[in-house]
Chains A and B, each alone.
Chain A
Amino acid sequence: MLVNRKLILAHFWLAFAVFGIALTLGAWQMFIRSPIGTWLSNPELYYRSLTAHGTVMGYVFPTLVAMGFGYAISESALQQRLVGVRWAWTGFWLIVAGSVMAVIPIALGRASVLYTFYPPLIGNVFYYLGVVLVVVGSWIWVALMSINLRVWRKANPGAPVPLAMFANVAGSYLWAWTAVGAALELLLQIIPVAAGLKNTIDAGLARIFFSWTLHAIVYFWLMPTYIAYYTIVPRAIGGRVYSDSMARISFILFLVVAMPIGMHHTFADPQVGAGFKFIHSAFTALVALPTLLTVFTICASVEIAARLRGGRGLFGWIKALPWDNPMMLALAFSFVMLGFGGAGGLINMSYQLDASIHNTQWITGHFHLIFGGAIVIMYFAIAYDLWPHLTGRELIDVRLMRTQLWLWFIGMIVTTFPWHWVGILGMPRRMAYFDFGDPAIAPQALSVTFSAIGGFILLASGIMFIVILARGMRAPQVDAGPYRFALAVHEPRTVPVALNTHALWVALMIALTLTNYGYPILNLALSSGTSVPAVYVGAQ
């Protein structure tokens, strides 16, 4: 029973509103630096847009989706009214305040440092403070997820935690811990310099702190998607989850191994020792495991739905799936993009293969494919699935939903595949314009043009998405019934304590962080002579 619908809707609406703005900026960025745009006479505008796009898409949009979805899961899966609603609203307003505080300096061109804010480039202090506020708001959500689960456990001692909530809380703990890296970088290093209290900063240490956050944050973004894979899609297409315990193990593996692997983002950095690069590389290989497990379990779960509908044969059952159901489409598209994006990820995590494409447009193509593609298309699906339960009105235009999803999928392929290709050709990242007339890079022009066209397809799809949701606010009323999650083929009556609690895995996550990050951080933090002068951006 979803009681706090306004709370959840507020999170989703704000998420999708800022998503729409950032998506528009993204399409403009693709256009303006492609052969079909003219060179910006003020390249700072490109970097300003890039900062806004990255900050919103990375720090604000997915956080709000995870939070809103998390509140919905807490109430529905636990069948318990949300405890701490006032705190939840406080968290929401903190995010609003932080976003506004950050966006103002960005819009004024005082914080064009990009969302990775690599010092010693330093922007306006309020940009960084705004990001900190957003993170603090999200930590309130983390606390509430933990508290709500504890209240439920007291009322249901020994009972198996519903899978959706188990995964949701795991994701929240992962986020809380992974945000600490960027928080330390901001609070201990960047903000004092931006505020004028210091004027030197250890750029290498800052990159290490940021790498702590930079990888696991994508798993935080990924959690709602995987929760939807396991607990929404099987139900929506009339199937069952193949294995409840494997699902739990996958989420547990994410909780433990997503975090202490961030230094594969610093493979090419000179301030990290080769031994630690190797350890992180090995553990990064491990994090492929839960995704491989998930792909198997979800395919098996989907096959169950197909065979229940009369599907036959080794692969013939695929035809029997409910392809007119937007949830089925979203899952299929997500898996295709996950396959390609995941393969790209395997390349990135291998030091030797990464050397060819590090910081080229391959990387940008990769994370747009996996995040903008595989992950965000499931955010759409989650919204479509939840909307009638939040608004009390039905989403009528199923055909439009399918079209929107098709456009997003096609748009993402058209945008990101050529992007990967130009990355292999060596096109560098983050440039406001390129001289495609020069014969050395002229071969890249056509691919970049395709990507720009893809950007417009995505924009159209994004607009469609918002129109569908807006229409859904005014559609005929309907009683969608209680929000339900997928059942497992073998619903667990009891679950081993390690698969029903998080303490052990959080402890392992923290322990691995200490072993994998402890020395590199302390090493540089305690070294004198590694700090360099700050370079303030936009000083005129």
Chain B
Amino acid sequence: MSTQDTHESVSAEVAARVERRWATIAVIIIVMMALLAAFAGIHRATMPQPRVEITDPSRLHLSGEFVESNLGSVLEANGNVTVRAIGQQYSFTPACIVVPADTPITLRATSADVVHGILIQGTNVNTMLVPGYISEQLMRFTKTGDYLMPCQEFCSFGHEGMWGKVKVIDKTEFANRAKGGGRLSCVGQ
């Protein structure tokens, strides 16, 4: 009996040790991944938006940041660009967003009615538009080009028609267009 018990307890110890070793490895893998994520986030400036900001979706057009004349791209004094957009059933305004390459850009957007999403295909610019809240995402395009910008969340029966566009143009060309002040877009181009 004693050899059976000893044998059992020895092998039980072996099993326990092996499991513990694996558990340690598993924990190390996980911690490394978490640290990598934090590092990548800081190094590449892909962090969640820093604040929760609220607004009234049914009154966006009356006053505040998202009135019609303020939608579009504006060149700030420090050379950065701010883009303001609205998602609504079933289009984005501006329907074509124009931005310069090689520039830090802040996208600020919200929904006028239901939950929408903004996704710039081929990039990691991807955020939800929740009515009542303002979404903010930083972006930077290294080269010029055209991108599709679909809505990526079900917003009722016209959702499949909700596709916007993004045009990334040369930095100097953008600066020229921005000379006249106002808000830029590539609508109708």
Which residues of A pack against B, CB within 8 Å? 43-44, 47, 112, 114, 116, 118, 120-121, 202-204, 207, 242-243, 245-246, 266-274, 277-278, 281-282, 285-286, 288-289, 292-293, 296-297, 300, 346, 350-353, 355-360, 425-426, 428-434, 440-441, 489-490, 527, 529-533, 535, 537
Contacts and interface: CB of A to CB of B under 8 A. Distances in A.
A121 B111 CA distance: 13
B28 to A, nearest CB: 11
Contact of A428 (B57, B136, B150, B158): B150
Closest 5 CB pairs of A and B: A426-B121, A359-B152, A428-B152, A355-B124, A292-B26
B46 A358 contact: no
Interface string B37-77: 10011001011111111101110000000000000000000
Given A430-B154, A490-B8, A204 B130 contact: yes
B105 to A, nearest CB: 15
A155 B27 CA distance: 39
11 contacts: A47-B156, A120-B131, A121-B114, A204-B133, A266-B128, A268-B128, A270-B129, A271-B133, A430-B159, A431-B150, A530-B133
Interface string B109-132: 010011101011111111111111
Contact of A296 (B22, B33, B52, B113): B22
A270 B30 contact: no
B187 interface: no
Contacts of A114: 154
A352 B34 contact: no
A112 B157 CA distance: 9
Given A430-B159, A433-B160, A530-B54, A288 B152 contact: no
Contacts of B114: 118, 120-121, 203, 535
Contacts of B175: none
B128 A531 contact: no
A535 B16 CA distance: 57
B122 to A, nearest CB: 6
B81 interface: no
Given A203-B131, A293-B22, A356-B124, A529 B56 contact: yes
Nearest to A114: B154
Contact of A530 (B23, B122, B132): B132
B32 to A, nearest CB: 10
B160 A434 contact: yes
Interface of B: 8, 11-12, 15-16, 18-19, 22-23, 26-27, 29-31, 33-34, 37, 40-41, 44, 46-54, 56-58, 89, 110, 113-115, 117, 119-136, 148, 150-160
Nearest to B23: A293
Given A47-B154, A292-B29, A532-B132, A426 B148 contact: yes
Contact of A533 (B58, B89, B123, B129): B58
B52 A281 contact: no
B46 A441 contact: no
Contact of B33 (A207, A245, A346): A346
A477 B121 CA distance: 59
Nearest to A290: B26
B165 to A, nearest CB: 10
Contacts of B46: 351-352, 355
A86 B87 CA distance: 52
Given A118-B153, A440-B148, A271 B47 contact: no
A288 B30 contact: yes
Contacts of A285: 30-31, 33-34
Given A286-B30, A426-B121, A120 B135 contact: no
A442 to B, nearest CB: 12
A355 B22 CA distance: 31
Given A268-B128, A289-B26, A532-B58, A428 B117 contact: yes
Residue in A277, A352, A432, A537 whose Cβ sees the most chain B Cβ within 10 Å: A352
A351 B8 contact: no
A432 B160 contact: yes
B26 A293 contact: yes
Given A204-B133, A358-B119, 16 more contacts: A118-B154, A203-B114, A203-B115, A242-B19, A243-B15, A269-B133, A288-B30, A289-B26, A296-B22, A351-B41, A351-B46, A352-B124, A359-B126, A429-B153, A433-B160, A527-B54
Nearest to A440: B148
Contacts of B51: 273
Given A44-B157, A268-B127, A433-B160, A120 B15 contact: no
Given A203-B132, A533-B58, A270 B119 contact: no
A489 B154 contact: no
Contacts of B31: 285
Contacts of B18: 300
A521 to B, nearest CB: 13
Contacts of B119: 358-360, 426, 428
Contacts of A537: 156-157
A360 B58 CA distance: 28
A73 to B, nearest CB: 24
A355 B126 contact: yes
Contacts of A267: 48
A270 B135 contact: yes
Contact of B57 (A43, A358, A532): A532
